[in-house]
Amino acid sequence: MSTYLDHAATTPMRAAALEAVCEQMHLVGNPSSLHGAGRRARRVVEESREQVAEALGARPSEVIFTSGGTESDNIAVLGSYEARRAADPSRTRIVVSGVEHHAVLDPAMHLAQTQGAPISFVEPGECGTVRPQDVAAVIEEDPDSVALVAVMWANNEVGTIQDVPAIAQVCAEHGIPLHTDAVQACGHLPVDFAASGAETLALSGHKLGGPVGVGAMLARRDAVLAPTSHGGGQERSIRSGTLNAPGIAGLAAALTESVADRDAEARRVAALRDRLLAGTQELGLGVRISGCWEPGDVTTRLPGNAHITIPGCEGDSLLYLLDAAGIECSTGSACQAGVPQPSHVVLAMGRTEEEARGSLRLSLGWTSTEADVDAALAALPDAIDRARRASGAA
């Protein structure tokens, strides 16, 4: 039986979410229809909207349902940029952190390629932390040119948690909207949208025990966003399309349950993470922990994130060797056009390309156990030895 240690990619559905989805899948009704079945589906959507808002410190009117984190990020970046530029043509620059997910980076690059939008990067420190003063410095190079700033709440690769309220304050001083990708944070960290100061926020159902294919974007009531899809005018006319009532119900159920036991679960999972990271150091194989780590810390690093780099190894080789040994995890690299590339996140933190290529992400979640940690630590030595021999580093 395999040991699943890739919860940052997707985590098993919670029973409450599965039940909510199945219940709605047995029913018929378009939430935009005016007859009884449509009104019943609409009630499910609106009750779910209230649940999501309550869990994340938002107003129901600020919850816009989407197909997932990628669409939410795209709407926030593209929609905010278009609206800001329409109101003030001099607002063309985009400021993003150097550790953003491609769901934020790629729409920014699209705007650069198609509309000539200048992109300014805020590079992190060696822990992956984006400092508010560094964001301020980049903005102040030409504050009147900035259309939006994007800094993620928690990093999907190395688990670093950013000080979003402090960064939002910097943006507010210049009248610039902040978007934050909170896909890895929601359900795992305290997320209060109202208190954060962000203008938009992205979340995804399948990262917290909900179904794949559903997510949400939180957008303040006064946020101005150009629509990226056109049609029936659903979701404040920002995201048209028939609403996925079963998926939305599952998202709300999973988020509600994950928030209810969040603090206790964070401590439990962090204890597993700490034992896993400490165990890699005790192997005596030169394994290096990525980012900053303090045992018990759940405020600067995601509770379930264990990211390591292993000298003399290719991450892809390690991945396949561990998979053959029954350990399912991921590398720190992004595969583009079929060619493995070193992680831009690890490179931005000051690691070399060789170190970045030897990255491995072991991520724990709500179903993880002590046995999972034991299995990973037992499998690593042989996998590392074989990977080094394959690369000629042994």
Element spanning 363, H or E: strand 359-363
222 and 307 inside one domain: no
- The answer to whether residue 335 is catalytic is yes
- Per-residue pLDDT at 73: 98
2 inside domain: no
Pick the last residue of a domain from 259, 278, 309.
259
| Distance from C-alpha of 328 to C-alpha of 307, rounded to nearest angstrom | 14
145 and 222 inside one domain: yes
pLDDT-above-90 percentage for the chain: 93
124 and 50 inside one domain: yes
10 inside domain: no
Pick the last residue of a domain from 217, 242, 259.
259
7 inside domain: no
Count of domains observed in the chain: 2
249 and 272 inside one domain: no
181 and 296 inside one domain: no
279 and 250 inside one domain: no
Contact (CB, 8 A) for 122 and 95: yes
169 inside domain: yes
Amino acid making up residue 200:
T
- Per-residue pLDDT at 339: 58
- Per-residue pLDDT at 366: 98
> 11 vs 4, 258, 341, CA distance in Å?
9, 12, 25
201 and 85 inside one domain: yes
Range of the domain at 127: 15-259
- Low-confidence residues in the chain, pLDDT < 70: 332-339, 393-394
Q: At what angle do helices 15-25 and 245-260 cross, to 10 degrees?
A: 160
242 and 354 inside one domain: no
5 inside domain: no
217 and 252 inside one domain: yes
Pick the last residue of a domain from 259, 292, 327.
259
Q: Which CATH number goes with the domain that contains 334?
A: 3.90.1150.10
222 and 358 inside one domain: no
Q: Which CATH number goes with the domain that contains 38?
A: 3.40.640.10
4 inside domain: no
Comparing C-alpha atoms, which of 179, 182, 184, 155 is closest to residue 167?
179
179 and 214 inside one domain: yes
196 and 55 inside one domain: yes
